[in-house]
Amino acid sequence: MMWPLAPMLVPLATALLCVLTQSTPRRQQMISVVGATVLLITSTLLFLEVQQVGALRVVLGHWPLPFGIEFVADVLGTALALVAALMLNVTVLWQWSDADAAPSSPTLHPLLHGLVAGVCGAFMTADLFNLYVWFEVALMCALGLLAHGGGLHQLDAALKYFVLNVIGTMLFLVAVALIYAATGHLNFSALGDAMARLDAAVALPLYGLLLFALLAKAAAFPLYAWLPASYHTLPPPVLALFSALLAKVGIYAILRLFGNVFTPAPALLYDALGWIAVLSMIAGVLGAAYHWDMRRILAFHSISQIGYILLAIAMASRTGDTAAIFFTLHHSLVKASLILVAALVFRYTGHYDLRRCGGLYASRPWLGVAFLLLALSLVGIPPFSGFWGKYLIVREALSQGAYLWTACALLVSVVTLYSMMKIWLEAFWKPHPDPAWRAPEHVRLAPAWVGVSGLALVVLSIGVAPEALIGFADAAAGALRGDVP
């Protein structure tokens, strides 16, 4: 009966034990590694079990529904929790390398595990108010991680992140309160029925406010300002964890609420979502094309990729949901590995600014190959993994007659390719601007390389054999739409 709660309770317990061992860093790191490994094992087992037997449900404290707080471990939630566990392991592993790792501080490990606990909680809960609580847990831990180091840049980023996210969270809370006032329910399945019975004139503003708040969480246009303002000050392993998880929680909540709980929501919402998606794509990719700092480029890319996922959700069909789930899982892994590659580039050349690095293909060809493969996966050049995600989205958009959106999506792909090639040409292909530069010889990067190549292999195998993941995403989308036998 506790089994489906493991993705929340394991990182929560690990975070607390890490707090208790703050004075002994070695012991704390051991606990952190063990906790991350246990989380990976339990979430893999849970994922496999849910595949076999279907969603597992627990109502905390044995309270009767719809009053008790319910947790549901379903196909989508456990898959995302598995990705979170995987990324946490990579981040913790990375601490052993001397690449641009997070500064070792007694609060780093508790906050990392706390963040994952919040994120996994949001993936598992089946209660609207409880979703808000997990958002808060993740927000507070992310804020602590952003403020790490306490430098001017960090505090500036933390403040921007905090203010913009708190506005989003507060709006979400207001939306939850209004929905509760209108329906008297918070449990997802009870809410779905109650909202469907509500007068359309009352329901539409409630849906709109809820969607607006979640879009701020998902870093969609025009509420994305917090993401590029804060991400580039983070150490790369933490940044990889953030970009794999943080905006995805918002995406997940939109997919869960407007693809599952409130279906069918008014068509107007999905139209608005489609336009917001297209604008996010364009704004994100233009930002990426403009910047020279690799971390900023990749952060802006996330916004544009979030646009693709939102466009898939806006299709409001099973195929659209399939594409959204595929794209979300794929993007978490690809973006995280690209950020880690950028961190390796930084370790070798000493700069994140593309104008100041170069010559890496001659001295570290494998890094160049890894970057190229991952970048092409992100852009979606066949046969790499991103292609399948974009193919699903474009095909569904065309079949629904959304030609303008399709054209925008394809155009944005081209600009994405441009900005990825910019990184490749500047960091790898062109000679280093300083002729006296030599790649440092004495580096301890083995753990970092294990992390990057592990993720890259997963990404490549998705590209080579996409059927497995597409089939899985389709099953998950079917479960969301409730048309699974």
Partner 1 sequence: MTSRPLLAEVFVRGLYIVLLVASIWVLLRGHNAPGGGFIGGLLAVAASAAYALTFNATSALQRLPLRPAALAAIGVLLSAASGVPALWSDLPFLTHLWVELPLGIADLPLSTVMVFDFGVYLCVWGALGGYCLGLLRALEEAP
For partner 1, which is the closer residue by CB, 117 or 218? 117
**Minimum CB distance to partner 1, residue 56 (Å):** 11
Q: Tokens for 203?
A: 């329901």
At 70, give phi and psi (nearest 5°): -100, 140
**Minimum CB distance to partner 1, residue 16 (Å):** 4
CA 73/CA 56 separation, integer angstroms: 5
**Minimum CB distance to partner 1, residue 105 (Å):** 13
For partner 1, which is the closer residue by CB, 13 or 286? 13
**Minimum CB distance to partner 1, residue 38 (Å):** 15
For partner 1, which is the closer residue by CB, 6 or 83? 6
- 93-123 burial code (b ≥16 CB/10 A, e <16): bbbbbebbbbeeeebbbbbbbbbbbbbbbbb
Q: Is the peptide bond before 264 cis (omega within 30 degrees of 0)?
A: yes
**Minimum CB distance to partner 1, residue 58 (Å):** 5
For partner 1, which is the closer residue by CB, 137 or 229? 137
**Minimum CB distance to partner 1, residue 1 (Å):** 5
For partner 1, which is the closer residue by CB, 89 or 107? 107
SS3 57: strand
SS3 293: strand
* Interaction site with partner 1 (CB under 8 A): 1-2, 5, 9, 12-13, 16-17, 19-20, 22, 58-62
**Minimum CB distance to partner 1, residue 119 (Å):** 18
**Minimum CB distance to partner 1, residue 125 (Å):** 13
**Minimum CB distance to partner 1, residue 17 (Å):** 8
For partner 1, which is the closer residue by CB, 8 or 333? 8
Residue by residue, DSSP assigns 69-100 as PEEEE-HHHHHHHHHHHHHHHHHHHHTTSSSS
**Minimum CB distance to partner 1, residue 110 (Å):** 8
For partner 1, which is the closer residue by CB, 10 or 278? 10
For partner 1, which is the closer residue by CB, 2 or 201? 2
For partner 1, which is the closer residue by CB, 69 or 246? 69
Long-range contacts of 174-181 (CB under 8 A, 24+ apart): 174/209, 174/213, 175/206, 175/209, 175/210, 175/213, 176/128, 176/129, 176/132, 176/210, 178/206, 178/209, 179/128, 179/206, 179/210, 180/128, 180/129
DSSP code of residue 104: P
138 with 249: CB under 8 angstroms? yes
CA 215/CA 208 separation, integer angstroms: 10
Long-range contacts of 176-179 (CB under 8 A, 24+ apart): 176/128, 176/129, 176/132, 176/210, 178/206, 178/209, 179/128, 179/206, 179/210
For partner 1, which is the closer residue by CB, 16 or 279? 16
207 with 265: CB under 8 angstroms? yes
CA 75/CA 80 separation, integer angstroms: 9
CA 100/CA 94 separation, integer angstroms: 9
